[in-house]
């Protein structure tokens, strides 16, 4: 967990039933990314995918939001990013205040590059539920 304070902020919002003010998390379909993996990443991902057939998306940003939602058994609001048009829509949502921040870049090539860089540094894959189970969380 990168920031306990960020996680605790989202946890508090979910517990107080104010989750509607939390920005949706951006997701992208796995098929847009997996073809870009190097051989080692493909092998690791294929092993993950063989036991996680229900997984259809990669989380692009919002780990604290998804973990807080999972811990409190709330739904996770998301937007699907598949192309540059979807990015334009997300940037418009940011201008309108429906998304608090957008750090992903302004085109799909940048998003794919960032995600590949992430998996180069952290080659493992896990679902939100699995990630939540690995984090020791104080819900008091």
pLDDT of 131 over the 90 cut: no
Q: Which residues pair with 28 in a beta bridge?
A: 58
* DSSP state for residue 43 in the 8-state scheme: H
pLDDT of 42 over the 80 cut: yes
Q: What is the mean pLDDT of the chain?
A: 90
* Mean pLDDT along residues 63-85: 93
Token pair for 31: 């098929």
Q: Model-level pTM?
A: 0.88
* DSSP state for residue 74 in the 8-state scheme: P
């Amino acid at each position: 967990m990168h920031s306990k304070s960020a996680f605790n902020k989202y946890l508090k919002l979910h517990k107080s039933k104010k989750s509607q003010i939390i920005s949706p998390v951006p997701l992208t379909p796995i098929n847009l990314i997996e073809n870009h993996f190097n051989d080692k990443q493909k092998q690791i991902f294929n092993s993950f995918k063989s036991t996680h057939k229900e997984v259809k998306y990669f989380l692009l940003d919002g780990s604290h939001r998804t973990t807080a939602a999972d811990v409190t058994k709330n739904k996770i609001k998301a937007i699907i990013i598949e192309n540059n048009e979807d990015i334009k829509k997300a940037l418009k949502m940011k201008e309108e205040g429906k998304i608090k921040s957008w750090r992903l870049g302004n085109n799909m090539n940048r998003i794919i590059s960032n995600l590949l860089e992430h998996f180069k540094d952290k080659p493992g894959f896990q679902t939100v539920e699995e990630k939540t189970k690995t984090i020791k969380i104080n819900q008091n």
